[in-house]
Amino acid sequence: MSVTLQAFLRDFAGSDPQKQAVAAAVERIAEAGIAIADLVAQGPLADHFAKIMGDEANAGGDAQKELDVISEEVIIAKLKQAPVAFLGSEESETPIPLNDVGSLVVAVDPLDGSSNIDTNVSVGTIYSILPYSAAQFPDPVDALKQKGSAQLAAGFLIYGPSTVLVSTLGAGTQVFALDRASGDFILAKAAVEIPAQTKEYGVNQSNMRHWDTPMRAYIDDCLAGKDGPRAKDFNMRWVGSMVADAFRIFTRGGVYLYTGDKRKGYEQGRLRLIYEANPVAFITEQANGAATDGKTRILDIQPEKLHQRIPLVFGSKDEVAKIASYY
């Protein structure tokens, strides 16, 4: 018998009010995902979606596309129907108030990989769910700046050949796939296990000349293959949508690397700690993988700024440890 996301969440929540709140938030995000998947599927029929809006960059300093903005609006409308007090978004400078009462805050990258919209490559929505109370966090920014280890749930939707939800509620990582006939997300994998070892890495190698010494040394050793110090041949895969690269890693192992480099604005890499690194680190660890900035476990890092970037390495546990040893 197939298990729907709704049934899975009901089971998880039982009669615990905070878990019920998390379940409601995840369900609303999944609904937003169905709407965004339909928009993404328009592809070249809606090529205006990939147009850069004005000359304005978003809060994180990236060009903002029409579909980035629409995706954020869809998520806001849905999460207003859940006990979520504030939304932190990669696309917005400050937290967006959603409900006067709510025991949660949610952080999102509404459309990850949006530079790929017009190329028919998978893009996705990343989310992180954190506990909130007005008494503890008079300033909602501080609620969003909790360490990744405080997350109650996290996940991402990927809009690819299939629309998939990768979710953790803090006990393992599950994969749900959208059944278009019924409109339900159906449990497809109850426990994702990232193989501890791998021969596959993902990195934007065109940045090699900008990398720091440990990063260069690691990739040099991979490239040396069987005759080098690693004594095995490596394969390289890089989509350039983190959700797509992450889904491959959850499927067959591998490591993703976007560390800091010498380019201006890339000193701390490209990915954002609160909207991207923390949720991906949580899902990865719950699937037996690991995530680090090279020196510190991602989930142990205290965020300093809402839109802060962080060097990110995640995936197969033993390979992540190996990369950390170069640092």
Closer by beta carbon to ligand AHM, 23 or else 117: 117
Is residue 68 among the annotated active site residues?
Answer: yes
Write phi, then psi, for 236 (nearest 5 degrees). -120, 135
Is residue 56 among the annotated active site residues?
Answer: no
- Residue tagged active-site, from 31, 66, 91, 245: 91
CA-to-CA dists, residue 246 to 2, 88, 257, 304, angstroms: 25, 22, 11, 25
Closer by beta carbon to ligand AHM, 109 or else 200: 109
Q: Which of Mg ion, ligand AHM, none binds 307 (CB below 5-8 Å, type-dependent)?
A: none
Is residue 91 among the annotated active site residues?
Answer: yes
- Residue tagged active-site, from 72, 276, 285, 319: 276
Amino acid at 120: N
Residue 113 CB, nearest approach to ligand AHM (Å): 4
- Extended strands (E) in 169-320: 173-179, 184-189, 200-202, 235-236, 255-258, 290-292, 312-315
Interface with ligand AHM (CB under 6 A), residue from 270, 309, 317, 322: 270
* β-pairing verdict for 84-89 and 104-112: parallel
Q: 55: Cβ–Cβ under 8 A, 6 or more apart, which residues?
A: none
Q: Which of Mg ion, ligand AHM, none binds 81 (CB below 5-8 Å, type-dependent)?
A: none
Is residue 187 among the annotated active site residues?
Answer: no
CA-to-CA dists, residue 36 to 160, 187, 304, angstroms: 12, 20, 31
Is residue 111 among the annotated active site residues?
Answer: yes
Q: Among residue numbers 183 through 212, which ones bind ligand AHM (CB under 6 A)?
A: 204
| Distance between CA atoms of residues 13 and 24, nearest Å | 9
Q: Among residue numbers 71 through 130, which ones bind Mg ion (CB under 5 A)?
A: 109, 112
Is residue 245 among the annotated active site residues?
Answer: no
Element (H, E) at 86: strand 84-89
Closer by beta carbon to ligand AHM, 114 or else 286: 114
Is residue 220 among the annotated active site residues?
Answer: no
- Extended strands (E) in 169-233: 173-179, 184-189, 200-202
Q: 6: Cβ–Cβ under 8 A, 6 or more apart, which residues?
A: 27, 184
Q: Which of Mg ion, ligand AHM, none binds 128 (CB below 5-8 Å, type-dependent)?
A: none
Is residue 31 among the annotated active site residues?
Answer: no
| Distance between CA atoms of residues 182 and 27, nearest Å | 15
Closest CA to 123 of 174, 67, 74: 67
Closer by beta carbon to Mg ion, 61 or else 229: 61
Closest-by-Cβ residue to Mg ion is: 112
Q: Among residue numbers 4 through 63, which ones bind ligand AHM (CB under 6 A)?
A: 62
Decide if residue 248 touches ligand AHM (CB under 6 A). Answer: no
Q: Among residue numbers 115 through 144, which ones bind ligand AHM (CB under 6 A)?
A: 115
| Distance between CA atoms of residues 114 and 195, nearest Å | 29
Residue 314 CB, nearest approach to ligand AHM (Å): 11
Q: Give yes or no for a contact between 268 and 309, defined as CB atoms under 8 angstroms apart.
A: yes
Q: Which of Mg ion, ligand AHM, none binds 241 (CB below 5-8 Å, type-dependent)?
A: ligand AHM
Contacts with ligand AHM, residue ranges (CB under 6 A): 62, 109, 112-115, 204, 240-242, 245, 270
Which positions are catalytic? 62, 68, 90-91, 109, 111-112, 276
Contacts with Mg ion, residue ranges (CB under 5 A): 109, 112
